[in-house]
Every structure is written in structure tokens, then in C-alpha cells.
Amino acid sequence: MVPKVEGAWDIHYLDQLLAQIEAKHGLRRPILTHAILETAEGVNNVTAIAGASPRMHGISLGPADLAASRAMKTTRVGGGHPGYKVLADPSAEGARAAAPQDLWHYTIARMVDACAVAGIKPFYGPFADFADEEACETQFRNAFIMGCSGAWTLHPSQIPIAKRVFSPDPAEVAAAQKILAALPGGGGAVMIDGRMQDDATWKQAKVLVDLAQGVAAKDPEMAGQYGL
């Protein structure tokens, strides 16, 4: 069952259908729902969608359908576009440096915020250029740093990329553990390696350590790297 969802009202209707299925088959565990953000209307309503039902598990970005919905001029699925960039002022020699921009930054940020408020998980969507593993890893990492919990994989070659990217770096986990140890309970402020750490950075560190503990519980190899 994959109904089109563009607002909270669609989630409420889906809830009713799922409740009937659960009752008919005597299911004791609730059926959860996962939305794909792939229309301009859906992006406009993403906060309402994320909080529309206790059944909501998470939301994934659907870049191809969303691009079409917005009339974006690209046939790529995920990732950037060589024409989407900013130019520096001309140098004395006339050369101009160019910096590519992230087509999906705004949408991912809105999705992550909506999911954080609702207490559900945000995910990056598919990256269709299987041959460009470096670009895939870069896009996945952008999404991870911004707060996404994972990403779709369309090809077996992308599975190790996703595993690598969405498992926090052992060095960063070690640094986070150092902050937690220096600030038991998150109170006060200390200097660690020349940087001030306080309750705000304690919260940031806890995010990394909690994620590492979750990864370690399922992956003995990563548990060894984290020292957990």
C-alpha cells in the first residue's frame, strides 16, 4: 500500500485504513508508516505530515519526483548539478573560481527539522549514478551531518558507502566521549584541547555517542573501533 501523501489529512485517512487492517487480522503491534517527500506541496506541509500520527516512523527525500514537481531543470536523481553554482569575482587575470551548490540543502533542512520536532527519523533518498561513488558518498555525508539517520541504496555498491557514512567517525566519537567524561550530567564549562565545552557541546557530544552505541550494538567491528 503506497498512497499519495501530501498533507496531514492523507495521514489521518491512512491511519483509519491501517486500524481496520490491524483489527481484521488481530495484529498486536501497530503498523508504522513512512512518508516520501516528493512534491512541492509535501515540502510545504512537511511539519504537519511529520506530526500527523503516532504511526509515523520517518520521512525520506524523493529527489526525482520532487524535482519534477518543482519544474527543476535536471534529469539527475540526487546529488548536484554542474550548472548550479556561484562564481567569484574575476581575478586580475580574468579567471573566476566557481563553487558548486547543494540543490537539496533547503529541503533536507526542512525535513530534518520537521522530523526532529515530531521525534521521527529523516532519511536521504536515492542517488542514481551508481558509477560515481565519490559523489554518492559526498551527498550521503552532507545528509548525515545535517541530521539524517540513513539513506536509500539503489545498488549493492552503495551499501558499504552508506554503512561507512552513517556510522560516526571513531575519532569524533572519542572526542565526544572526552567531553561527556569532563562534564558529568552536562553542567558547567571546561577547556578541552584549547576549546571551551559546555552544556551545548555536551548535548552535541551525546548525539554522537548515543549513535555510536546504537551502531556498536549491531556491528561488532564498529564496536571494536569505538571501544564499546
Q: Where are the domains of the chain?
A: 8-166, 168-228
Going from the C-alpha of 51 to that of each of 30, 42, 74, 106, the distances in angstroms are 17, 13, 31, 20
What pTM was computed for the model? Answer: 0.87
Residue 204 pLDDT: 94
Contacts of 160 (CB under 8 A, 6+ apart): none
Mean pLDDT, the chain, integer:
91
Averaged pLDDT for residues 141-169: 95
> How many CA atoms are closer than 13 Å to the CA of 122, on its beta-carbon side?
27
105 pLDDT more than 90: yes
Going from the C-alpha of 22 to that of each of 16, 28, 29, 56, the distances in angstroms are 10, 8, 8, 16
Cβ(203)–Cβ(228) below 8 Å: no
* Class of the CATH domain delimited by 8-166: alpha beta
Give 6's pLDDT tier (boundaries 50, 70, 90): low
Which triple of cell numbers denotes residue 69?
514537481
Query: Of all residues in the chain, what percent carry a pLDDT higher than 70?
Result: 96
